[in-house]
A and B are shown apart, each in its own frame.
Chain A
Amino acid sequence: MLRILVNALRTGVVTTRYPAEPSVPPDRFRGAPVLRPGSALPPPAVCPAGALSEHLDAGRRHVVLDLARCVFCGRCAEDPWVDAVTMGRDFELAARCRDDLRIEVVADDPTVPAAGPAPDPDAEAARASSEIHRVLGRSLHLRHLDAGSCNACDWELAALLNPVYDVRRLGIDFVASPRHADGVVVTGSVTRNLETAVRRTFDAIPDPRVVIAVGACAASGGIVGKGYASAGGVDRVLPVDVYIPGCPPRPEAIIFGILVAVGRLSARRLAREG
């Protein structure tokens, strides 16, 4: 017992200050890809997750990156596209609206900056959030719902409870029963074998409730996509309040998304930054 106390004192405080202080990911970290307008952008087939698409608008080639689908593998930023795409280090990508995660650039005109979606008041989402805020205050108790993930997102959620992230310091906790929860964090693309369980868990949560889709599979189907055993994303089954891109999102990215859901941080309009 004494040894345990000595060890604990010797270890000291290991808890991060995030979000009060920013978290700087390491140099090699692969965050949101940055597309350079006017450069030779890669064809959609390069992306193994189908996050890239292109279309012609007024004779110009537009390339769209869907961050909800992106698995951050970095393939689109490899040779020969290194000048066109770089892997950014931004990880605070959570958005209230799926469309906010689409970044569009004009591939053959450098004068047109990267365009995000039109400013969207997110009226419905904001209303839900203020209702959550009114009823629940600043604290949020969540139920984790694995809807068919590869377990990477699950382990990152579990990491939120480790001494380094310790999300309880932020009033966030994970509870055992949906009856005790203010919402769910869902991982995975919603498999056929879990669809009934996903619906029933959601139904067991009292109103108002938030649904947070964690990771590419939950946010869009990701690399799993839609198929005989996969619904292709949580929003095909449940109403989603916040989407957190990543494969998996690092723990701070999940903290950011949860705080967006509870209205304590506002979602970054990252597409505007181009």
Chain B
Amino acid sequence: MADPALMDALRAGAGGSADADVGPRPSDLTVRLGRAGDLPAVAAVLIGPYSMALATVVATDETATPDGDLKVRYVFEPTAPGAPDRFVTLLISVDAAHPEVPSLTTAVPAANWHEREMQDLFGIVSVGHPDPRPLVVHDGWPQGVFPLRKAFDGSQRVPVEPADEFPHLVAEGEGVFEIPVGPIHAGIIEPGHFRFTSVGETVLNLDARLFYTHRGLEKRMEGLSPLDAFYVAERICGVCSVAHGLGYCEALEQIADVTAPPRARLIRSIALELERLYNHVGDVGNVCAGASFHYGTAAGMRLKERLQQMNERLAGNRFLRGLVVPGGVRLDLSDDLLGVLAVTLQDTLAGLDSLMERIEANPSVVDRLDDTGILQHQAALDLAVAGVAARASGVDRDARRDHPHGAFAGPEPLDLHVVIASEGDAMARVTVRALEARESIRLVGELVRRLEPGPLQVALVEPLPGGRIGISAIESARGEAVHWLRTDAAGRVERYHLRSPSYHNWPAVVLAAETAIVPDFPLVNKSFELCYSCTDR
């Protein structure tokens, strides 16, 4: 499936010194650049004429292999609707003694956090990065210690120094104030620090410091059997348990060269839609909390609770953990359970319609949401924003269609209605979410109709094939998540990397909040509804 014109353009960008291979998947392309310095020019070809976006950046430490180097893979994907399911990887070799690469951030803003993370965890410096502050490591992290290098023993605690001051942009002038918020918040939410610089209620600048929940999970998974590491992947994030579990499984199944049976793929997609549904319904309710519409909050919570109770009946866990496993699914859906599912979804649909009617009929809520926290279309493209946030700003992307997975990868693909809005404000994000929830209910009905008796799992035999790469993209409730997994020579996890949708969306929250006033920040934040845990890992 290699595209000769694309290859010629990339070779020209690299001044001739580029080799291309098919991979990791048969539809993908991996381009090895002879000189790291050619990276910006080659990336410009993908971003410009081929209108691709950055999907993920994965660094690996291969100093112990015959290559003896660090490697960085910049993975791009097409953004045009209807483009083939393809990843284009630009691979560069980095000298471990002088780990420097040219920065892409100025030309590709979505690379910003990837490059800062690589600097913190691998010591790979992106030369020319406009904002090279530490991202992932806080509070007196020792200089020159890079936890994702293979020589670093990840099982040892690194002692905490007293908290350092968060380095951030400082504005001065009459009436300019700083408002520090977090990391411990007033509500039951995840931890992050937000530093507002404001004049009166107007936000001049917002800086977000995240990675408080950085648990070192990618390091934790290294060296494990891929079948054991699955249980870690499933627990990176609570509300993305199905999506991340499935993304990991699909990457692993590529490595093992197996395909989950049709019935398992259908059940996986049902689970993925149910995860989207309870999140979207709950998130619509939570936005009401930001607008002090308590009836809406309670109604959303009640609908979400009903769905989570159903999850527990289907999977034995309210977050649907324990349903998806490598090779297929662990539990079947009996006719009894499908009956419960049908009734619950019917009631949810009625409840959600009623809730949206009450929101739209309530001027005090609509007034808060309209024109609040606008994310411009171009900014959404530049930052490679994913999911609801992207689609509410007119970006027509959905990994279920663009990178088919679960039942979407079958021979008879499901018809998916991708919901788009153009306003880019909080109201658009709420509306898109509500319409997507309706679409999920419709999809579950269709998926259930397609269920045929059949096996639930294929066996994955250890040891798994060594030295292989698997890559997958899953449309979680938050948007597209990209999983990258590689096995070592013994078939164990050599490196796993998750780029969650929230990872690309957080910088967009900051931009959107800067168009709003300080008291609207909770509303803006809830309208994006991002995870901290799958960003921080």
Contact = CB atoms under 8 A, between A and B. Distances in A.
Q: Do A and B come from one complex?
A: yes
Interface of A: 3-4, 7-8, 11, 14, 25-30, 48-49, 71-75, 78, 87, 144-146, 148-159, 161-165, 174, 176-177, 188-189, 191-197, 201, 222-232, 247-248, 250
Contacts of A4: 295, 358
A144 B184 CA distance: 9
Contacts of A150: 213, 235-238, 533
15 contacts: A14-B302, A48-B230, A146-B190, A148-B191, A149-B238, A151-B238, A151-B239, A151-B533, A162-B305, A192-B157, A193-B212, A224-B217, A227-B154, A228-B157, A250-B318
A227 B157 contact: yes
Secondary structure of the B contact surface, majority rule: loop
Interface string B285-296: 000000000010
Interface string B279-308: 000000000000000010011011011001
Contacts of A226: 155, 157
B228 interface: yes
B230 to A, nearest CB: 8
A78 B534 CA distance: 29
B163 A230 contact: no
A159 B317 CA distance: 15
Given A152-B238, A157-B188, 11 more contacts: A26-B312, A28-B316, A73-B322, A150-B238, A151-B237, A151-B531, A152-B235, A191-B215, A193-B214, A227-B157, A227-B216
B188 A158 contact: yes
B231 A223 contact: yes
Contact of B312 (A8, A25, A146, A161): A25
A227 B220 contact: yes
A150 B316 CA distance: 19
Contacts of A149: 190, 213, 238, 533
How many chain B residues sit at the interface, stated as a range, is 35 or more
A49 B232 CA distance: 9
B189 interface: yes
B319 A197 contact: no
Interface string B179-222: 00001101111110000000000000000000111111101100
Given A3-B361, A7-B358, A231-B157, A148 B322 contact: no
A29 B312 contact: yes
Given A196-B162, A231-B157, A7 B354 contact: yes
A174 B184 CA distance: 14
B532 interface: yes
Contacts of A154: 188-190, 238
A78 B322 CA distance: 12
B160 interface: yes
Q: Which 8 A-B pairs have the closest CB atoms?
A: A152-B238, A176-B186, A229-B216, A48-B231, A162-B301, A28-B316, A151-B238, A26-B313
A146 B162 CA distance: 19
A142 B243 CA distance: 32
A39 B229 CA distance: 27
B188 A191 contact: no
A169 to B, nearest CB: 14
A48 B228 contact: yes
A163 B304 CA distance: 11
Interface of B: 137-139, 147, 152, 154-158, 160, 162-163, 183-184, 186-191, 211-217, 219-220, 228-232, 235-239, 241, 295, 298-299, 301-302, 304-305, 308, 312-319, 321-322, 330-331, 354, 357-358, 361, 531-533
Contacts of B147: 228-229
B216 A230 contact: yes
A73 B215 contact: no
A248 B239 CA distance: 11
A140 to B, nearest CB: 15
A144 B238 CA distance: 17
A153 B232 CA distance: 16
A249 to B, nearest CB: 10
Name, among A151, A164, A248, the residue most crowded by chain B CB atoms within 10 Å (CB to CB): A151
A196 B193 CA distance: 13
Name, among A7, A26, A74, A78, the residue most crowded by chain B CB atoms within 10 Å (CB to CB): A26
B305 A164 contact: yes
Contacts of A25: 312
Contacts of B156: 227-228
Contacts of B187: 144, 158, 174, 176
Contacts of A30: 316-317, 322
Nearest to A157: B188
Nearest to B337: A28
Contacts of A174: 187-188
Contacts of B317: 29-30, 72
A72 B234 CA distance: 12
Contact of A148 (B215, B230, B235, B321): B215
A157 B189 CA distance: 9
Name, among A144, A201, A247, the residue most crowded by chain B CB atoms within 10 Å (CB to CB): A247
Nearest to A232: B157
A201 B186 CA distance: 12
A146 B191 contact: yes
Contact of B183 (A14, A194, A248): A194
Nearest to A148: B213
B351 to A, nearest CB: 9
Contacts of A152: 235, 238-239, 241, 319
A46 B162 CA distance: 39
Nearest to B537: A229
Contacts of A159: 301, 305, 308
A160 B198 CA distance: 35
A71 B188 contact: no
Contacts of B321: 73, 247
Given A48-B228, A189-B215, A228 B158 contact: yes
Contacts of A227: 154-157, 215-216, 219-220
A228 B154 contact: yes
Contacts of B241: 152
A181 to B, nearest CB: 11
Contact of A8 (B152, B295, B533): B295
Nearest to B145: A228
Name, among A155, A161, A176, the residue most crowded by chain B CB atoms within 10 Å (CB to CB): A155
A228 B219 contact: yes
Given A151-B237, A229-B214, A230-B216, A195 B155 contact: no
Nearest to A87: B316
Contact of B322 (A74, A176, A250): A74
